[in-house]
A and B are shown apart, each in its own frame.
Chain A
Amino acid sequence: MKKHRVRRSIVATSSIIGVAALLLGGCTADGGADGGVAKITFAASTFGDPGRGPLLTQWLEEFNKSQSEVQVTAAAVPYPTFGQTVLTQMGSGQGPDLIRFDMPEFEAASDAGLVAPLDDLVDVGKYTLLKQPDQFLVHDGVRHGIIFEASNYAMFYNADLIPKPPTTYEEFTATAKSLTKGDVFGLAFRQTEAEEAGVWQDIFNYVYGFGGKWSDGKNLTINSPDNLKGLQAYKDLYDAKVIPRGADAATFRRMFAEGKVGMELNNGGYVTATRGQNPNLKFSVAPIPFPVRSQGAILAPIVVNEASEEKEAAATFIRWALEPANQVKLQEILGASSVATVTERSAASLTKTPFLPVFDGLTESSLPQIVLGFEAKTPDIRKVVVQNVIAALQGQVDLKTALDRAQQQATELVK
């Protein structure tokens, strides 16, 4: 009797341990081979976009149909927490096999050795890559990514409210002021700490558009006179109350779509989304009318996770994505963004969106929103700069003092 009980408990305990081991085993592998088919995951925040997400998923399905040994699954992680979620997974040796990163997170991940070098996996010599954005994906001769999407910043304007877009900064401010009346605002930009990454993207255009830069490659130049000039322009517009203060991007983009905001500086990725919000909105795009033709660009490279057990399968997907026909399809899906290689816009897309050449023409003067020379530290520097600029906006301190403080704090961080 006693023997039976002991045997029963041994069997029960072994079963529990077995089930637990199976469950844990299932949790630790994101991809893997199943019956000779390598299953990989591709994480991107854009899979969750209302307009582009379903089309991108269809594009992945085309890959799956074309392959017998590799199958890719989309993993949509929301944009606000994308970097945190994926970097935390990768830091613990887990995570998706393929990732579409934004530049700050890409730099942090590649600096930490979490991204697989692509030199032996993809022969880039076979493709005509866009040189300007592509140069930022190679570190000390090692390639860590391929451009998935490059989206230049330009000025979106409501063509009903603004028949002729401003071409100088003076015209820009005058237009913003003249349009602001009642619940209509001439301009909109991000100005709240809750949207730290967005504020950084917006002030980047003001700093570079007034001849400034965040570093000279070796030292930080946050408080340089040109940066002060650009950020003063940003603050002046805030103080002039020509923007809907306190409105987040989702709110003011809806206002733009409703005709309640005249202008906003935005990237090509939002053309589709803006149309989706109001198909009847008459809007157009022009270069940002600041003194210097230099603006930010959202560069989103696709990378392979160093911890992936299916690197070759992941590289198969990248090679497929780089094929000319698939690049054209991807560009059609992404709208006004560029892709990794030089592609021709179709006549149909040019008819539908006549301002596409404006975005394409900005590629050479667009820069990724990172601090050159301190790429991996960009998220930390961004936090310091944004906090201090917002302190100045809120009247806690004057702008010069805020930038001096940011320079000192950021220098401490990168020491």
Chain B
Amino acid sequence: MTLLEQTKVPRSATRRRRSPLGSRWTPYLFLAPAALFVLVFQAIPLAQEIFLSFTRTTLLNPTRGRWVGLDNFVRIFGDEDFHRTLVTTFVYVIVCVVGAVGSGLAVALLLNRGFRGRGIARALITVPWAAPGIAVALIATWMLNAQYGIVNRFLNAVGLGVPGGAILDSPKYALPAVLATTIWQLFPFTSVVLLSALQSVPHDLTEAATMDGAGRWATFRVVTWQVIKPVVGLLALLMTIWSLRRFELIWLMTKGGPVGRTETLVIDLYAQAFESKELGSAAAIGMVGVVISLIVITGSRLVARAVAKENP
């Protein structure tokens, strides 16, 4: 008799011990609240948005929309400003992901080393992440204020001042300023996550690599990177989706200006819906955002699967 056969329990015994919650409907029962939530707050609004995107509907008369087919999509894709919005969105997302993950990794590597006051440094580093987005935006706006801002004063003192002093009103510097603020808010999260990943790197492997004569860079590339790679991938995916959706920080700092230089998809969507009061166009912009998000998620899954196949 094999071990498996020995551990087999008679069917009748299983039936007797089954709890009252053990029916085949139990999983559905537990899933129902979440499914209901998704249905009410995600699926129905999404279906409504898809419908709206094919109509000419204004915020002032939301129930009196007129079916216009693909007109909204034709209009937004024919608009040069929307092309600029798409480019700005991609630039914003890419720089945010690279900046937040890159700086997070650098900080995590530093915090992973032993030094006096490491505990305090680890605690302090989380402050920007813990601060609400609105507070971060307001602080940044004050720091960048043309008249009283500390950044402006410092830049002027070292002879690098922006002409006129208004960084957030400069088409050249507004986006870099918004990006710097975003990365400043994001990097604590990436650094904390990467720090925990770094702590899971087996010491014996790094020691073995060092004993084999590998330098710091080679040890990082061959050992450390291989362990933290999946975490970096996950962070990159999260950062991409969050950056595509980020609204309050950009809106509070620049409202998408000057001259549309910081206008991302969500800012454009909000402006269309609540300033121009065109719900149809706003829904069409939202659909573009949904498609981009789906492409990102599908792409990342395909990449993850390919990597898993390469390194089973």
Contacts and interface: CB of A to CB of B under 8 A. Distances in A.
Q: Which of B256, B257, B274 has the most CB of A within 10 A?
A: B257
Interface in A183-225: 183, 191-194, 196
A91 B254 contact: no
Contacts, number: 87
Given A87-B60, A109-B60, A193-B259, A246 B275 contact: no
B260 A246 contact: no
B226 interface: no
A244 interface: yes
Contacts of B168: 192, 194, 246
Given A108-B277, A387-B260, A194 B254 contact: yes
A302 interface: no
Nearest to B60: A112
Given A383-B275, A383-B276, A193 B165 contact: no
A194 B255 contact: yes
B195 interface: no
B170 interface: yes
B58 A394 contact: no
A91 B59 CA distance: 6
Contacts of A251: 145, 147-148
Given A245-B164, A383-B276, A390-B259, A92 B146 contact: no
B146 A193 contact: no
Interface in A157-206: 183, 191-194, 196
Nearest to B271: A383
Interface string A373-415: 0000001100100010011001010000000000000000000
Interface string B192-210: 0000000000000000000
A360 B179 CA distance: 49
A157 B89 CA distance: 44
Contacts of A114: 60
A9 B259 CA distance: 59
| Interface secondary structure of B, over-half rule | loop
B61 A112 contact: yes
Contacts of B258: 192-193, 390-391, 394
B257 A194 contact: yes
9 contacts: A112-B60, A192-B258, A244-B146, A245-B146, A246-B147, A246-B164, A246-B169, A247-B145, A251-B148
Which 9 A-B residue pairings sit nearest by Cβ, starting from the closest?
A246-B166, A246-B146, A193-B257, A112-B60, A245-B164, A391-B259, A91-B60, A194-B255, A84-B274
